[in-house]
Structure 1
Amino acid sequence: MRALLDVILVVLQMYWWVVLAMIIMSWLISFNVINTRNNFVAAVWRILNQLTDPVLRPIRRYMPNFGGLDLSPLVLFLIIYLIQRVIMYYIYPNVF
């Protein structure tokens, strides 16, 4: 059971990095540092959006509109942090 919890923690940490990469890439695209007309950039952007949009879309639905500011990744970071802490402090010590 602890091995399963370790896998869940690793997956959550990897997803955290994917969301961070999506945030950084969206900034780079917004400030015209990288261009989505490049095939590699477009492919990476599409993959990151396909990985993060299913999770961020429900969060965006409940978030108020802040103009052009998207705070849904911040909420997702807090949710991931909460899940990791619950597993580490409450579930993991009580598993045989």
Structure 2
Amino acid sequence: MTILFQILQVLLDLYRWAVILAAVFSLLLAFNVLDSRNRLVWTIGDFLYRVTEPALRPIRNLLPSFGNIDISPIILIVLITVVQMILSRVYAAIVYGNISGLLF
């Protein structure tokens, strides 16, 4: 049971880093620091887009327009952190029998 929760925590951490990398990557592309015509840069950007876009698109659809500012990665990172906190409380409740830990 412990290994399952650890794997979920690690996967959520990796996804958080993927969201951060995608946000930084898009900024670097927007300011022409990276050349999107380079095959390696395009491949990395495409991978990050395919990994993060399914989670970012619903958040973007719910948010009002802020012009060119995209805060959906920040909201997704906060949501991932909340899920990790809930997961750790559920783990503590299962392993240690601490049901009161589930109540906020």
Give the TM-score taking structure 1 as reference length. 0.95
1:93 equivalent in structure 2: 92
Give the TM-score taking structure 2 as reference length. 0.88
Does structure 1 residue 20 correspond to structure 2 residue 37?
no
Unpaired runs of 5+ residues, structure 1, are none
Higher relative contact order (CA 8 A, sep 6+): 1
Unpaired runs of 5+ residues, structure 2, are 96-104
Given that 1:22 and 1:45 are in contact with CA atoms closer than 8 Å, whether structure 2 keeps it comes out as yes
- Which of the pair has more CA radius of gyration? 2
Distance in 2 separating the partners of 1:27 and 1:60:
17
2:80 equivalent in structure 1: 80
Q: 2:6 corresponds to which letter in structure 1? A: D
Distance in 2 separating the partners of 1:5 and 1:63:
31
Does structure 1 residue 61 correspond to structure 2 residue 33?
no
Distance in 1 separating the partners of 2:51 and 2:84:
20
Question: Percent of aligned pairs with the same residue?
Answer: 35
- Alpha-carbon deviation of 1:61? 0.5
1:6 equivalent in structure 2: 6
Structure 1 runs of 4+ with >3 Å offset: none
Q: 2:66 corresponds to which letter in structure 1? A: F
Q: CA RMSD in A?
A: 0.7
